[in-house]
Structure 1
Amino acid sequence: MSHETVTNWTRRDDALVEDAIRRGATRRDLLRLLMASGIGIAAGGTIVGRATRAFADTPKSGGSITAAGWSSSTADTLDPAKASLSTDYVRCCAFYNRLTFLDEGGTVQMELAESIETTDAKTWKVTLRPGVVFHDGKKLTTDDVIFSLARHKDESVGSKVNAMAKQMAEFKKVDDRVMEIELSAPNADLPIILALHHFMILADGTKDFTTANGTGAFKCDVFEPGVRSVGVKNENYWKDKLPYLDSFEFIAISDEPARVNALLSGDIALAATVNPRSIRRLETIDGVQLSKTTSGNYTDLNVRLDMDPGDKAGFVEGMKYLINREVIQRSVMRDLAVIANDQPVSPNDRYHNKELKAREYDPEKAKSLFQKAGLFGTSIPIVASEAAGSSIDMATVVQQAGQEIGMPFDVQRVPSDGYWSNYWLKAPVHFGNINPRPTPDILFSLLYASDAPWNESHYKSEKFDKMLVEARGSLDEAKRKSIYDEMQVMIANEAGTIIPVWISNVDALSSKLKGLRPNPLGGMMGYAFAEHVWLAS
């Protein structure tokens, strides 16, 4: 048989081989089939290998999984406006949809919106997809979108994106599928902002969040805050062929070794955010694979500027010189991290300020600054928890550096349960963990503006606030880059947030679980894994 004939076979009938595999044909059966058609053993082996790989990579429907995140609490919510933990985001992505979403490359794609258009970055026309229905059968209209977006502006709701939503000055319904969003000032990032997990679309008038009535790939079957969530396949989902799973359960196992052991024992199919210490072990085990994403996630040490000791001039700067970033990168993160410079815009972002260098480790300079603050020799509590990934190890690095210069730090390890509600944003010196955000405007609006809901160090600067608004409305990319560069310098020098490294998030999963890909919004496929993964046969 000629090479051309073999090539024609492979182009025409690979699907027949894949179908035979689905029906249970063995490798010997397949080779007999090919040899009967005049194809030799060597060529037949190549065809069978390719078809087997293709079959393994073909999404399959059916099956159920349990996946485990690292943190949850009794404050878990099904209200997207109040979502603040990975477990909240996973549920939101499963039960609801957004107007837009970000693909693997960070490009904006349409979701519930069929199109979003503007000519001036201030007035935006939104056209919805036709035929989308909520889980209760209600048809999606612009009334639902207007309700969902407007409630973020209501102070009584307590939305985590209230500061960003305030720029949406007016909503105008044109008809059931077309509406306009009028911004208070131009913002070219609006389609990206609408891809954030908080901007999920609810049914008009929704008040009950004991369950979820969304348009998402799964219907909420069980929601037990701090315990577990179960989603079952939405048979009327508007996305063709999705989801593949019949159901999924999501739980939290705060202890990382326990989370890894649950994966190895087969109790879960996905273990989110694996500690670098576990990676070498997992890399040697058959049936387990790792998914790595480096997209701007970080654990930061926060010193509140409005409380003792952060209100003492020199203390925060001293802490920034006492952070041994190389040790954290090498020993704590096992090189699964990139050295950071105390501001949140990662090197993957086109607006990252490459000229802003990280402070060198200089314990003697730190000692001098602690003396200036009148705090040298005073024991300083540092609150850390497994809830903020690797924070306990980071705190230990700081503690050891302090011991070398005679500056005592009291590392207070607290439970994961309740950490985000009881310690984060509240303790004078504590750790946070920030998931990736796709634009500097979102990062600054959430974390550093004077009215930012997650202003971890209570940083306030009128100049910074004005620059934020100016950059947001500029259509001049060079000017925008220049403003963002200066804002990053301001954060690194003035804010009380210390960001030593950007962390490579590593999720561990069963090799039978397919379809998980990196996403700029974080691990677990930007927390939207449930809709896209499938189980191999």
Structure 2
Amino acid sequence: MLAACARPPAPPDVLGVAVASAPETLDPRFATSAVAQRLAALVAAPLVVIGDDLRPKPLLAEAIDAVDPLTLLVKLRPGVRFHDGTPVTADDVVFTLGSMKDPALGSPHATRLTHLVALEAVDERTVRLRFDAPTPPFLVDLHAWGILSRRTCAASRDACRDAPMGAGPYRVAKGLGGDERLVLAAHDASPLPPPGIRTVEVRVIRDNTTRLLELMDGRTQLVVGDLLPTDVEAVAGDPSLVVERAAGLGFSYLALNARSGPLADERVRRAIAHALDVDAVIASKLKGRALRASSILPPGHWAHDDALAPPAFDPALAERMLDQAGWPRRDHGMRFTLRLSTTTDRLRRATALAFADMLGQVGVDVRVEVRDWNALYQDIQRGAFDAFSAKWTPVIEPDLLYWVFHTSSIPAPASAGAPARVGGNRQGTSDAALDAILEEARRTDDPAARAALYRRAEARIAGATALVPLWFEDELVIRSSRLTGFALGRTVSLLPIAASRLE
């Protein structure tokens, strides 16, 4: 039971939103974390948003038409203005996407624009995009890239890092400073109707218990995503709060470094997967509020093979596989030692400890290392880990499989004459046949043909078992009963704030 401390409630016309970590930027060209991308979309409106069917829908764009397999024509919605009152034009779209392609900017999204070879402002509201190869994922990618003002953001690389000049339903009234408080003010000339909530105060509250207390005492009215399943029980029965949930798109997984050592052997990796009672962890640690994963693509996704089964919990099979792989139990009863890295997040830490116990039962001595995410991320990029547990969110476009599993996506440090290589293949697997399937899927426009290719890819990935699929957690929102009209979607966007009201 949580007891709320006495604090002054938020002003009646201000929506208080709590987040668990600070956004690294509000410039969508650099935003990679979930919190940064969610907040950036409030400030810089993207051309499209993603619906609950996981398909793109026009937002800043009025329409996007395929002229031919290599050409898109984007028509902008009329009457939309940036926060400084200037109109959003085709030239601003050319600037935003063009700057992301420029190596001098250093956008982490640049590789997503590799096949975009020409941008042309046909008129004030029309943009022509030309590609050198079919790029079906591009329309989905657009939802993460808010359009920025050339007039303001071209001044320097960091001109719009903290207060982007966008056309979202809110503008930055106060940047995130030392007090870790961001204030957003309503903007009435966005692609959406004028917001009913005129001021949004976003505060970084890292401690989970403190976030709940602030919800209970009325200082905060909304927490999206940064919640644990046990939080629902903590606020149960509080009439001032409402809990909502949606089937999540965040893929939790256990990554195994396949570069060297015992984990380089596919049999060892498969044995580890069979030693984990994932269903028991879902029941105990997540209170049943998650769906078991068999792939990085969520159940019901149009490209996912719903017949694909996750690794079965079978510790006896795991023992036999480890023996066959040449790792028998030694005199002390253990086969080898494994470092399992995780973050300070309470759920991730508890999960890692549960996995360590399960693996110990089959003779794998697991040492759990709790790390700050930024430090852990640096090690992950260098391949300096044995295993780590983490989460991809949200999983929408199946081309994510290319980023996570293609050989070219293995991160590598800069070397003489070669820049650093970024990518999501942190487990370091290389499979030429899988590469070919993922490359063909990138070139294929037909949805049915793409789905068939991704299902073939899923089968190969499941066999390699370098990324053990765990679960898709339900997305949770706790809001004040005073907040009405907030429609929680599968992508857990903050844009519904603009259609909400405080009663």
TM-score > 0.5, shorter chain as reference: yes
CA 1:264–1:158 in 2, change beyond 3 Å: closer, same or farther? same
Following the alignment from structure 2 to structure 1, what is the Cα–Cα distance between the partners of residues 465 and 106? 25
The answer to whether residue 18 in structure 2 is matched with residue 68 in structure 1 is yes
- Higher gyration radius (CA): 1
Secondary structure of 2:305 counterpart: coil
1:124 counterpart = 2:72: yes
Provide closer, same or farther for how the CA distance between residues 373 and 535 of structure 1 changes in structure 2, counting only shifts above 3 A.
farther
Deviation at 1:465, TM superposition (A): 2.9
Find the aligned partners of 1:481 and 1:240 in 2 and give their Cα distance. 33
Q: Answer yes or no: is the 8 Å Cα contact 1:96–1:216 preserved in 2.
A: yes
The partner residue of 1:177 within 103, 108, 125 is 125
Name the SS of the counterpart of 1:382 in structure 2.
strand
Tell me the distance in 2 between the aligned counterparts of 1:100 and 1:174: 20
Q: Please name the residue that 2:276 is paired with.
A: 323
In the alignment, is residue 353 of structure 1 matched against residue 305 of structure 2?
yes
Question: Aligned to 1:444, what secondary structure does the other structure show?
Answer: helix
Residue aligning to 2:502: 535
Residue 237 of structure 1 corresponds to 189
Contiguous gaps of at least 5 residues in structure 1? 1-61
Taking a change above 3 Å as real, the CA distance of residues 477 and 239 of structure 1, as seen in their structure-2 partners, is closer
Match of 1:484 in 2: 454
Shift of 1:529: 4.1
The correspondence for 1:511, drawn from 473, 481, 489, is: 481
What residue number does 2:171 align with? 219
CA RMSD of aligned residues (A): 2.6
Check whether the contact 2:16–2:201 (CA below 8 A) recurs between aligned residues.
yes
State which of 292, 297, 309 in structure 2 corresponds to 1:339: 292
Where does residue 388 of structure 2 map in the other structure? Answer: 430
1:150 is aligned, of 98, 107, 113, to: 98
What displacement does 1:356 show? 1.3
Deviation digits for residues 180-220 of structure 1, max 9, x if unmatched? 1112222344332212x2x1111222531232211111111
Query: How far apart, in 1, do the equivalents of 2:468 and 2:104 lie?
Result: 32
Q: Pairwise mapping of residues 77-476 of structure 1 onto structure 2 (< 5 A)?
A: 77-195=25-143, 197=144, 199-204=145-150, 205=154, 207=157, 208=159, 209-224=161-176, 228-239=180-191, 241-273=193-225, 274-341=227-294, 343-371=295-323, 372=325, 374=327, 376-387=334-345, 390-415=347-372, 420=377, 426=383, 427-441=385-399, 443-452=400-409, 453-476=423-446
When residues 210 and 500 of structure 1 are mapped into structure 2, their CA distance, relative to the original with a 3 A threshold, is closer
Q: How big is the shift at 1:140?
A: 1.6
TM-score by length of 2: 0.85
User: Are the aligned partners of 1:72 and 1:85 in contact in 2 as well (CA < 8 Å)?
Assistant: no
Of Structure 1 and Structure 2, the greater helix share is in 1
Match of 1:8 in 2: none
**How many residues in Structure 1 have an aligned counterpart in Structure 2?**
466
Going from structure 1 to structure 2, the CA distance change for 1:348 and 1:234 (only over 3 Å counts) comes to: same
Deviation at 1:161, TM superposition (A): 2.6
Among all aligned residue pairs of Structure 1 and Structure 2, give the percentage whose two residues are the same amino acid. 19
Counterpart Cα distance in 2 of 1:438 and 1:182:
24
8 Å Cα contact 1:378-1:407 kept in structure 2: yes
In structure 2, how many angstroms separate the alpha carbons of the residues matched to 1:267 and 1:386? 25
The range that moved more, 105-114 or 176-185, is 105-114
| Distance (Å, rounded) in 1 between the aligned partners of 2:320 and 2:47 | 52
